Amino acid sequence: MKLSDHSLVRPYIGRSAILDTNVLLLHLLCTLDFSLLRSFKRLGMFEEYDYLLLSELLKLFPAWCTTPHVLTEVSNLANALPDWKKSSWTEIFSQRIQVVPELFEDSAQIASDASAIRFGLTDAALASLAKTHLVITVDWPLTGFLESRNLAVLNLQHLKGIEFTL
């Protein structure tokens, strides 16, 4: 099956996507060094399939963006990289944040959504953006919250195990 034909993916093709923290971390670190998938503890929840799936999925959503909150979390999580990888990480991270659009909404505005802020500032910002963007995540509570509001969300775990053609 082509990934673009999958019933969970097809409705969102053509929309701009925003990657949640762990998904962006997976994308950036495996782009830097695929062996980090097996050796870096922050990627321990992922398998090779997850990275391949994400890579193919991002081809369907060439326009994607991020938030300062997601970037801060990614940066903090990547801080646990071994010293011998940090300079390479810094270089790729700096390059990517220069070309990926960063959407900003005032934290006070984000926090005004009391039901969203209980998930934290980053997820509340993503919930706000899900009105106009597809959120790609592996976070089940965030997925459930966005689905309960009929907002655009795609959890990679929903696609886990499907066979797709490249």
CATH at 138: 3.40.50.1010
Which helix (H) or strand (E) segment holds residue 64: the answer is strand 64-65
Phi and psi at residue 89, to the nearest 5°? -60, -50
- Positions in the chain short of pLDDT 70: 165-166
Please tell me the predicted confidence (pLDDT) of residue 122.
93
Q: Within a domain: residue 165?
A: no
The pLDDT value given to residue 166: 59
> pLDDT, tens digit, for every residue of 16-27?
999 999 999 999
Collapsed DSSP state (helix, strand, coil) of residue 139:
coil
The total domain count for the chain is 1
Closest residue by Cα to residue 115 from 144, 87, 138, 95: 144
Check residue 165 and give its pLDDT: 67
Q: Is residue 95 part of a domain?
A: yes
Whole-angstrom Cα distance, residue 113 to residue 128? 9
Please state the pTM of the whole predicted model. 0.92
What phi and psi values does residue 46 have, to the nearest 5 degrees? -105, 155
164: in domain: no
pLDDT of 120 reads 86
Q: Which domain holds residue 62?
A: 3-159
Instruction: Output the pLDDT for position 163.
Output: 77
Q: Are residues 121 and 68 in contact, defined by beta-carbon separation less than 8 angstroms?
A: no
Q: What is the pLDDT of residue 34?
A: 93
Contacts (Cβ under 8 Å, ≥6 apart) of 45 = 22, 138
pLDDT at 108: 87
How many distinct helices (H) and strands (E) make up the chain? 10, 4
- CA-based Rg of the chain, rounded to a whole angstrom? 16
pLDDT at 41: 92
Is residue 166 in some structural domain? Answer: no
